[in-house]
């Protein structure tokens, strides 16, 4: 599954360098942590941007911080889990 605007909210929190984005979704962490999930956002993202993701797994809220490492045909994002 890939990012879909219908599956949650994606908004810019800080337009500086790097940009900080907030994404809230009902997708499980395993879904948005998968490779290529955010590929459709390549035109919005730049290398070094961070995405703070609030998702749910089995009804439990989980937060992840993702860092954009490369943007292109495949957007590469590293995951840092925040507990």
pLDDT tens digits, 2-27: 677 666 689 999 999 999 999 988 87
> 79 phi and psi, to 5 degrees?
-105, 135
CA 32, 83, 60, 63: dihedral to nearest 10 degrees?
-40
20-25 and 76-82 beta bridge pairing: unpaired
Mean of pLDDT over the chain: 78
Neighbours of 4 (CB within 10 A): 12
Under the banding of pLDDT at 50, 70 and 90, the label for residue 74 is low
Structure tokens at 22: 């907030």
With 70 as the cut, is the pLDDT of residue 50 above it? yes
pTM equals 0.79
């Amino acid at each position: 599954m890939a990012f879909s605007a219908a599956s949650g909210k994606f908004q810019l929190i800080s337009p500086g360098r790097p940009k900080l984005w907030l994404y809230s979704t009902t997708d499980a962490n395993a879904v948005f942590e998968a490779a290529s999930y955010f590929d459709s956002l390549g035109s919005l993202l730049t290398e070094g941007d961070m995405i703070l993701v609030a998702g749910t797994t089995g009804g439990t809220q989980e937060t992840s911080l993702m860092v954009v490492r490369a943007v292109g045909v495949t957007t590469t994002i590293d995951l840092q889990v925040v507990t």
